[in-house]
Chains A and B, each alone.
Chain A
């Protein structure tokens, strides 16, 4: 076992152990005390960070661009041999199915995993004070540990299945953190909305994974994206197929990174405690989609149309978020739309540079969106953490300059007529009517059809059996009218 393997194992095992320690203690109804929880968090984050920085230093010193670490197969089946009871690392052309545990340390994953440990460590320390004596202190840190594990797995995934595992863990922990204050209905409704979008996004990723697995018989990124280290890989797929796979990936990215038309889950996610909002939706979770696009950038490079779609999606999301963010009235919503604007720009950069990097043979262009992610993640975390003390900060600023801070509306006032300004304001304050449109034209008709089918089933039962037990006739609590409505409409249900 090499030093790289040992360090790689430490990076992955540190958050995994944290999940085991906190999770098992909760499961057997013996949760750790706040002090011990904090020690465990600090220990896991510290060890993980030191190991990942050590890997970076060793890679730079040895000019290594890619260090794959294989931990063997989780599942392996050979088509001409009896299946082993313990998965081995033996893998050849007779392998019918395999599920490898493989991690990839390269110029993309290492910075991202370091960012994860730095920000999660910071938030862990912040949350210790912020969540002190909160009823759900233990629950918060269990979900936090699951989230960190999901982020590390996604960042380092060497196979698309490992990436999917991490992706799902991030989704579940995020959903449960949005609904952290679960004694109130709104966080739960918003958590449920987030989960619905995530499931759609997961379905997109799973379909892309299956297509790639089916076409190449492999889920390993080094086989799918060419043998060159990131960002120099070249995928070996026909352009038409790259476009189809890419569209599924774009669906996954749009859901995870809150791009149009799934943008409205991001402000809803701010119902959770500030530390989770900061870490998940401001800094890390929202960048996962962009990270995935960078990981599969060789596929984007194969299809100019796909690159244009990605670019257009990013720009649309950025413009939408910029306009909408201007009309928000609470600081977390403003910050979430600001984060969305930057993520939109990052996605547009990826679409543009992945194609340009192939066209100009300049793969280093893909470092630009990566640096953008790292910088934006750190800056936004700081803003989110300062959000609860914003009024105090404004007070300090205004005292220092001796007057009120000015609000600059001159640009829009000079460019736009009042009628347009009011229309745009309505659009922005209702968050582009996206929720309302999705509900009216997609969700509500779908649910209506389903309820009709359910009633038909009951009618059959009734006719054969006699009357059925009357069902409660209330509107389900998770399906109450959404905020924001179409012009001229008062309700959506």
Chain B
């Protein structure tokens, strides 16, 4: 197996874990904030170097240098390949920006050690390629939010049930698939499909996402949902080997969810609930592309994943920054916050429009390719994605007008953004616009990853259609 030049993967995973242990000891929120900031920045740099090291090798998959995990537990748990290489820096960036944009008013109530623990688990999940490791880390990744809900005295039954059901179904599903080998049927994949559907909040399992945004801290909800862990499970466990019928069913449910959630975002009366609907809709949109399983559709889905992760993360952080100033944000009357926070208004618009694939932003080319790929595979699917995107666009503008315009808001204290928040806003603006103006490197990487994934799927499908005996006969050299 190919190796990186340094154990970047383990560094990126275990650094936040150590950081969590260190920060947990600190009582002063300001110190915890600044020291966790150092950790998240270091993790981000490590993740960038990890991706850079991987791309310099020009291979499909690489493991860590020195195989530390093999020495410790006898097997490698983590690897970097073309599918997760762009996602790992994205996740590290989301955690860094969340940390950076945490205002002083939030710092006292936000657990930085839990955030670092979640970062470690999320990076572990996205670095894992072994299905069992993915399933276990996915289940563990839901724990911090559960304990946070408990600590805040909020009901945990719905969240706990949904996450437990998802984890159990994923484990059961993978066990079934593993026992039966490549000769798979739709029935065999049903537990995996339902497990992923629950984790992604697909219809009719969307309630836990809305409940999480409603009851948990905004930061925790964002960090648990915006990396789209459910889509990662689908990418690793379902797309490479599921029969076409399974992909089609998941695709249809995802398409319905994308439209349903986008439409419901139009009638939300509270910003967090609005955000949760947007996350569900985009998560479902990515799944639609993954299930199309054509080079173009898959490339579009991977691009939309990256753009949605970035833009939804930025969008959520903007809402969180506003919430830090105003408390919960109702979407029933005009707030008129533009005059006080013009930078946040611009960031809200930029990231929101990037979510819906507005031209010139990071989401544009990905969305175009996703729709193009969908039309190519199933012509009737294309218009529905366009409708979902149009509804999302209307919902975003509605939220913009309600939050930033319509009245003059008077405040006795300054609500302008601070230095750290400005850095976060500018970073997001540069990435959203830069990725939109120079899309080719990102698209090329996604296309390469899509080709590799489809080749892996082809191999599995041909193994299913030609049983091993037959394959052996074909493999024998001619006499």
Binding site for B on A (CB under 8 A): 26-29, 73-77, 79, 82-87, 96-97, 99, 161, 164-165, 168-169, 172, 175, 179, 182-185, 188-189, 191-192, 195-196, 199-200, 202-203, 206-207, 210-211, 213-214, 446-447, 450-451, 453-454, 457, 460-461, 464-466, 468-469, 471-472, 474-478
In the bound complex, do residue B336 and residue A75 qualify as a contact, i.e. CB atoms below 8 Å apart?
Answer: no
In the bound complex, do residue B206 and residue A477 qualify as a contact, i.e. CB atoms below 8 Å apart?
Answer: no
Would you list 18 pairs from A and B whose C-beta atoms are within 8 A, ordered by A residue? A26-B346, A29-B343, A75-B443, A77-B447, A165-B364, A182-B338, A182-B406, A183-B405, A185-B406, A214-B379, A450-B267, A454-B264, A464-B157, A465-B157, A468-B211, A471-B270, A476-B332, A476-B402
B111 contacts chain A at the CB level, 8 A cutoff: no
Q: Which A residues are CB-close (under 8 A) to B336?
A: 182-183
Instruction: From known contacts A179-B405, A183-B407, A191-B401, infer whether A168 and B270 are also in contact, taking CB-CB under 8 Å.
Output: no
* Count of A-B contacts judged by CB separation below 8 Å: 175
In the bound complex, do residue A477 and residue B334 qualify as a contact, i.e. CB atoms below 8 Å apart?
Answer: yes
In the bound complex, do residue A476 and residue B331 qualify as a contact, i.e. CB atoms below 8 Å apart?
Answer: yes
In the bound complex, do residue A183 and residue B264 qualify as a contact, i.e. CB atoms below 8 Å apart?
Answer: no
Q: Which B residues are CB-close (under 8 A) to A213?
A: 372
In the bound complex, do residue B207 and residue A96 qualify as a contact, i.e. CB atoms below 8 Å apart?
Answer: no
**Most chain A CB inside 10 Å of its own CB: which residue of B264, B404, B447:** B447
In the bound complex, do residue A478 and residue B372 qualify as a contact, i.e. CB atoms below 8 Å apart?
Answer: no
Interchain nearest-CB distance for A477 vs B (Å): 5
User: Which residue of the partner chain, among A85, A196, A211, A464, contacts B158 with CB atoms under 8 Å?
Assistant: A464
In the bound complex, do residue A207 and residue B398 qualify as a contact, i.e. CB atoms below 8 Å apart?
Answer: no
User: Which residue of the partner chain, among A76, A85, A210, contacts B371 with CB atoms under 8 Å?
Assistant: A210
Binding site for A on B (CB under 8 A): 155, 157-158, 161, 206-207, 210-211, 214, 260, 263-264, 266-270, 295-296, 299, 330-334, 336, 338-339, 343, 346, 353, 358-360, 364-365, 368-369, 371-372, 375-376, 379, 382-383, 386-387, 389-390, 393-394, 397-398, 401-402, 404-408, 422, 426, 429, 439-441, 443-445, 447-448
**Most chain B CB inside 10 Å of its own CB: which residue of A195, A214, A461:** A461
Residue of B whose beta carbon sits closest to that of A74: B439
Report the bound CA distance from A113 to B267 in whole Å: 40
Interchain nearest-CB distance for A100 vs B (Å): 12
Residue of B whose beta carbon sits closest to that of A185: B406
Residue of A whose beta carbon sits closest to that of B269: A471
User: Which residue of the partner chain, among B157, B267, B368, B439, contacts A447 with CB atoms under 8 Å?
Assistant: B267
Q: Which B residues are CB-close (under 8 A) to A82?
A: 448
Report the bound CA distance from A79 to B447 in whole Å: 10
In the bound complex, do residue B401 and residue A192 qualify as a contact, i.e. CB atoms below 8 Å apart?
Answer: yes
User: Which residue of the partner chain, among B368, B386, B440, B441, contacts A161 with CB atoms under 8 Å?
Assistant: B368
In the bound complex, do residue A185 and residue B407 qualify as a contact, i.e. CB atoms below 8 Å apart?
Answer: yes
Report the bound CA distance from A164 to B367 in whole Å: 13
Report the bound CA distance from A175 to B266 in whole Å: 18
Instruction: From known contacts A199-B390, A450-B264, infer whether A96 and B404 are also in contact, taking CB-CB under 8 Å.
Output: no
Q: Which A residues are CB-close (under 8 A) to B379?
A: 214
In the bound complex, do residue B267 and residue A454 qualify as a contact, i.e. CB atoms below 8 Å apart?
Answer: yes
Closest 3 CB pairs of A and B: A83-B444, A182-B405, A165-B359
Interchain nearest-CB distance for A446 vs B (Å): 8
Q: Which A residues are CB-close (under 8 A) to B260?
A: 453
In the bound complex, do residue A461 and residue B210 qualify as a contact, i.e. CB atoms below 8 Å apart?
Answer: yes
In the bound complex, do residue A450 and residue B266 qualify as a contact, i.e. CB atoms below 8 Å apart?
Answer: yes
User: Which residue of the partner chain, among B390, B402, B407, B448, contacts A203 with CB atoms under 8 Å?
Assistant: B390
Secondary structure call for the A interface? helix
Report the bound CA distance from A73 to B439 in whole Å: 11
In the bound complex, do residue B440 and residue A207 qualify as a contact, i.e. CB atoms below 8 Å apart?
Answer: no
Residue of A whose beta carbon sits closest to that of B374: A210
Q: Which A residues are CB-close (under 8 A) to B386?
A: 203, 206-207, 210
In the bound complex, do residue B155 and residue A184 qualify as a contact, i.e. CB atoms below 8 Å apart?
Answer: no
Residue of A whose beta carbon sits closest to that of B416: A29
Interchain nearest-CB distance for B419 vs A (Å): 12
In the bound complex, do residue B266 and residue A447 qualify as a contact, i.e. CB atoms below 8 Å apart?
Answer: yes
Residue of B whose beta carbon sits closest to that of A150: B359
Residue of B whose beta carbon sits closest to that of A180: B405
Report the bound CA distance from A449 to B242 in whole Å: 35
Q: Which B residues are CB-close (under 8 A) to A77?
A: 295-296, 299, 443-444, 447
Q: Which A residues are CB-close (under 8 A) to B270?
A: 471-472
Report the bound CA distance from A178 to B266 in whole Å: 21
Interchain nearest-CB distance for A447 vs B (Å): 6
Q: Which A residues are CB-close (under 8 A) to B263?
A: 446, 450
Interchain nearest-CB distance for B305 vs A (Å): 17
Q: Which A residues are CB-close (under 8 A) to B407?
A: 183-185
Q: Which B residues are CB-close (under 8 A) to A96?
A: 295-296
Interchain nearest-CB distance for A455 vs B (Å): 10
**Most chain A CB inside 10 Å of its own CB: which residue of B339, B376, B443:** B443
Q: Which A residues are CB-close (under 8 A) to B364?
A: 165
In the bound complex, do residue A477 and residue B333 qualify as a contact, i.e. CB atoms below 8 Å apart?
Answer: yes
**Most chain B CB inside 10 Å of its own CB: which residue of A27, A169, A184:** A27
Interchain nearest-CB distance for A146 vs B (Å): 10
Q: Which B residues are CB-close (under 8 A) to A206?
A: 371, 386
In the bound complex, do residue A454 and residue B359 qualify as a contact, i.e. CB atoms below 8 Å apart?
Answer: no
Q: Which A residues are CB-close (under 8 A) to B389?
A: 203
Residue of B whose beta carbon sits closest to that of A146: B360
Q: Which B residues are CB-close (under 8 A) to A76?
A: 440
User: Which residue of the partner chain, among B214, B346, B365, B426, contacts A74 with CB atoms under 8 Å?
Assistant: B365
Q: Which A residues are CB-close (under 8 A) to B406?
A: 182-185, 188, 477
In the bound complex, do residue A188 and residue B358 qualify as a contact, i.e. CB atoms below 8 Å apart?
Answer: no
Report the bound CA distance from A460 to B372 in whole Å: 36
Report the bound CA distance from A477 to B365 in whole Å: 34
Interchain nearest-CB distance for B157 vs A (Å): 5
Report the bound CA distance from A289 to B266 in whole Å: 27
Interchain nearest-CB distance for A476 vs B (Å): 5
Report the bound CA distance from A333 to B268 in whole Å: 33
In the bound complex, do residue B268 and residue A172 qualify as a contact, i.e. CB atoms below 8 Å apart?
Answer: no
Report the bound CA distance from A75 to B365 in whole Å: 8
Interchain nearest-CB distance for B377 vs A (Å): 11
Report the bound CA distance from A463 to B364 in whole Å: 40
Residue of B whose beta carbon sits closest to that of A182: B405
Q: Which A residues are CB-close (under 8 A) to B365?
A: 74-75, 99
Report the bound CA distance from A447 to B206 in whole Å: 19
In the bound complex, do residue A83 and residue B390 qualify as a contact, i.e. CB atoms below 8 Å apart?
Answer: no
